[in-house]
Structure 1
Amino acid sequence: MSIYALDAVFAPKSVAVVGASQRPGSVGRTVVQNLRQAGFAGPIGLVNPKYREIDGVPAVPSLRQLPFKPELVVVTTPAETVPGVVAQAVEVGARAAIVVTAGLGHGPGSLLEHLRNEARPHGMRIVGPNCLGVMSPHVGLNASFAARSPIPGDLALISQSGAIAAGLVEWGAARSIGFSAVVSLGDALDVDFGDLLDWFAQDTRTRAILLYIESIRDARKFMSAARAAARSKPVVVVKSGRHAQGARAAATHTGALAGSDAVYDAAFRRAGLLRVHALDELFAAAETLGHLRQAPGRRLAILTNGGGIGVLAVDRLMDLGGPLASLDPETLARLDRVLPPTWSHANPVDIVGDADADRYTASLEALLDDPGTDAVLVMNVPTALASPEGAAEAVARVIEKRAKGPGRKPVLGVWLGAQDAAVAHLDRVGVPTYATESDAVRGFMYLVRHREAQQALMETPPSLPEDFVVDTATARQVVARALEQGRGWLDPLEVVAVLEAYGIPVTPAWKAATPEEAVAAAAPVLAEGGQVAVKILSPDIVHKSDVDGVRLNLGSEKAVREAVKLVLARARELRPQARIDGVTVHPMVRRSKSRELIAGIADDATFGPVIVFGRGGTAVEVIDDKALALPPLDLRLAHDLISRTRVARRLKAYRDVPAADERAVALVLVKLAQLAADVPQIRELDINPLLADHEGVIAVDARIAVAPHPGPAQKGPWHSSFVIRPYPKEWEREVELPHGRRMFVRPVRPEDEALFLSFFARVTDEDLRLRFFSAVRHFSHEFIARLTQLDYARSIALVALDPDSGEMLGAVRLLADANYERGEYGILVRSDLKGHGIGWQLMRIMIEWAGSIGLKAVQGQVLRENVTMLAMCQQLGFRITPDPDDPSLMDVLLDVDGGTTP
Structure 2
Amino acid sequence: MSIRNLSTFFAPGSVALVGASSRPGSVGAAVLASLVSGGFAGPVWPVNPKYRHLLGLDVFSDVSRLPLAPELAVVCTPAATVPGIVGQLGVLGCRSVVVLSAGFDAAGPEGASLRQAMLDAARPYLLRILGPNCVGLLVPGVGLNASFAPVAALPGRLAFVAQSGAMVTAVLDWARERGIGFSSFVSLGDGTDVDLGDLLDYLAGDPGTDAILVYAESVRQARKFMSAARGAARAKPTVIVKAGRAPEAARAAFSHTGALAGADLVVDAALRRAGMLRVHTTAELFDAVAMLAHRLRPGAGRLAILTNGGGPGVMATDALVEAHGTLARLGADTLAQLDEGLPPNWPRANPVDIVGDAPAGRYRHALQALLASPDADAVLLIHAPTAIVPAADVARVLLPLLRAAAKPVLCCWLGGASVAEARRLCLDAGLPVFETPEEAVRALMQLVDYGRNQALLMQVPSAGRLAPPDRLGARAHVARLMAARCEAVGEANAKLILACYGIPSVATEVVSDETDALAAAARIGYPVALKILSPDISHKSDVGGVALDLGDPRALGEALARMTERVRTLRPEARLFGFTVQAMARRAHALELIVGLSVDPVFGPVVLFGQGGVAVEANADQAVGLPPLNRVLARDMVSRTRVARLLAGFRDTPPADLDAVCDVLVRLGQMAADLPELCELDINPLLADSQGVLALDARMRLAPADGADSLARFAILPYPDALEREVESALGALTLRPIRPEDAPAHQAFFRALSPQDVHFRMFSSARELSDAQLARFTQIDYAREMAFILTRPTADGRETLGVVRVVTDPDNIAGEFAIVVRSDLQGKGLGTILMEALIGYCRAHGLREITGVALADNLGMQALARRNGFSVAADTDGTVALRRVLVTDDGK
2:783 aligns with: 792
| Structure 1 residue corresponding to 2:810, chosen from 794, 808, 817 | 817
2:141 aligns with: 138
Report the number of matched residues. 879
Separation of aligned partners in 2, 1:225 and 1:235: 11
1:284 Cα shift?
Answer: 1.6
2:844 aligns with: 851
Whether the 8 Å CA contact 2:47–2:59 is kept in 1: the answer is: yes
Alpha carbons of structure 1 residues 799 and 484: separation in structure 2 relative to 1, 3 Å: closer
1:128 aligns with: 131
The answer as to 2:312 corresponding to 1:314 is no
Whether the 8 Å CA contact 1:460–1:726 is kept in 2: the answer is: no
Partner secondary structure for residue 170 of structure 2 = helix
Counterpart AA for 2:886: L
1:206 aligns with: 209
1:223 Cα shift?
Answer: 1.0
Counterpart AA for 2:234: R
Separation of aligned partners in 2, 1:520 and 1:867: 75
C-alpha distance after superposition, 1:652-692 (max 9, x if no partner): 33333333333322222222222222223211111222222
1:665 aligns with: 661
2:577 aligns with: 581
Counterpart AA for 1:410: P
Partner secondary structure for residue 719 of structure 1 = coil
Whether the 8 Å CA contact 1:877–1:899 is kept in 2: the answer is: no
Matches within 5 A, 1:221-300: 221-246=224-249, 248-300=251-303
Whether the 8 Å CA contact 1:496–1:508 is kept in 2: the answer is: no
Whether the 8 Å CA contact 1:331–1:366 is kept in 2: the answer is: yes
Whether the 8 Å CA contact 2:751–2:770 is kept in 1: the answer is: no
Separation of aligned partners in 2, 1:855 and 1:231: 26
Counterpart AA for 1:414: C
Moved more, 80-89 or 755-764: 755-764
1:478 aligns with: 477
1:96 Cα shift?
Answer: 1.4
Moved more, 653-662 or 420-429: 420-429
Alpha carbons of structure 1 residues 412 and 57: separation in structure 2 relative to 1, 3 Å: closer
2:172 aligns with: 169
Matches within 5 A, 1:403-802: 409-416=407-414, 418=418, 432-459=432-459, 466-524=465-523, 530-711=526-707, 719=711, 721-726=713-718, 747=739, 762=757, 788=778, 790-797=781-788
Separation of aligned partners in 1, 2:516 and 2:889: 61
1:187 Cα shift?
Answer: 2.2
Alpha carbons of structure 1 residues 451 and 562: separation in structure 2 relative to 1, 3 Å: same
Counterpart AA for 1:820: N
Counterpart AA for 1:322: G
Counterpart AA for 1:445: M
Whether the 8 Å CA contact 2:71–2:96 is kept in 1: the answer is: yes
1:895 Cα shift?
Answer: 1.7
Whether the 8 Å CA contact 1:762–1:831 is kept in 2: the answer is: no
Alpha carbons of structure 1 residues 103 and 556: separation in structure 2 relative to 1, 3 Å: same
Alpha carbons of structure 1 residues 882 and 361: separation in structure 2 relative to 1, 3 Å: closer
1:6 aligns with: 6
Partner secondary structure for residue 190 of structure 2 = coil
1:635 Cα shift?
Answer: 1.6
1:624 Cα shift?
Answer: 0.9
Moved more, 147-156 or 834-843: 834-843
Whether the 8 Å CA contact 1:17–1:47 is kept in 2: the answer is: yes
Separation of aligned partners in 2, 1:16 and 1:3: 22
The answer as to 2:12 corresponding to 1:20 is no
Counterpart AA for 1:558: R
Gaps spanning 5+ residues in structure 2: where? none
1:215 Cα shift?
Answer: 0.9
1:383 Cα shift?
Answer: 4.3
Alpha carbons of structure 1 residues 890 and 69: separation in structure 2 relative to 1, 3 Å: farther
1:263 Cα shift?
Answer: 0.6
Whether the 8 Å CA contact 1:461–1:633 is kept in 2: the answer is: no
The answer as to 2:84 corresponding to 1:84 is yes
Counterpart AA for 1:855: G
Whether the 8 Å CA contact 2:630–2:666 is kept in 1: the answer is: yes
C-alpha distance after superposition, 1:475-534 (max 9, x if no partner): 222222222222221122101112222222222221111121112212345xx5x43332
Counterpart AA for 2:785: R
1:576 Cα shift?
Answer: 4.5
Separation of aligned partners in 2, 1:114 and 1:208: 35
Separation of aligned partners in 1, 2:654 and 2:731: 60
C-alpha distance after superposition, 1:270-309 (max 9, x if no partner): 1111111112322321321342443331322223332222
TM-score, normalised relative to structure 2: 0.86
Counterpart AA for 1:500: A
Separation of aligned partners in 1, 2:175 and 2:220: 29
Separation of aligned partners in 2, 1:153 and 1:283: 16
Whether the 8 Å CA contact 1:434–1:440 is kept in 2: the answer is: yes
Separation of aligned partners in 2, 1:140 and 1:156: 15
Partner secondary structure for residue 291 of structure 1 = coil
Moved more, 102-111 or 204-213: 102-111
1:198 Cα shift?
Answer: 1.4
C-alpha distance after superposition, 1:223-266 (max 9, x if no partner): 11111111222111111111133374322111111110111011
Alpha carbons of structure 1 residues 212 and 896: separation in structure 2 relative to 1, 3 Å: same
Separation of aligned partners in 2, 1:778 and 1:428: 44
1:315 Cα shift?
Answer: 0.3
Moved more, 752-761 or 449-458: 752-761
Coordinate RMSD, CA, aligned: 4.4
Moved more, 38-47 or 195-204: 38-47
Counterpart AA for 1:490: V
Counterpart AA for 1:436: T
Counterpart AA for 1:319: E
Whether the 8 Å CA contact 1:106–1:113 is kept in 2: the answer is: no
Counterpart AA for 2:408: P
Separation of aligned partners in 2, 1:211 and 1:591: 49
Whether the 8 Å CA contact 2:753–2:824 is kept in 1: the answer is: no
1:38 aligns with: 38
C-alpha distance after superposition, 1:670-718 (max 9, x if no partner): 2222222222321111122222233332222222111122148xxxx88
Separation of aligned partners in 2, 1:834 and 1:501: 41
Separation of aligned partners in 2, 1:311 and 1:550: 51
Separation of aligned partners in 2, 1:819 and 1:494: 44
1:323 aligns with: 326
C-alpha distance after superposition, 1:98-121 (max 9, x if no partner): 222323229993332333233234
Partner secondary structure for residue 39 of structure 1 = coil
Alpha carbons of structure 1 residues 310 and 138: separation in structure 2 relative to 1, 3 Å: same
Whether the 8 Å CA contact 1:83–1:114 is kept in 2: the answer is: yes
Partner secondary structure for residue 489 of structure 2 = coil
Whether the 8 Å CA contact 1:862–1:870 is kept in 2: the answer is: no
Counterpart AA for 1:146: A
Counterpart AA for 1:860: T
Alpha carbons of structure 1 residues 145 and 331: separation in structure 2 relative to 1, 3 Å: closer
Counterpart AA for 2:317: V
Separation of aligned partners in 2, 1:311 and 1:660: 37
1:370 Cα shift?
Answer: 5.1
Partner secondary structure for residue 94 of structure 1 = coil
Counterpart AA for 1:722: F
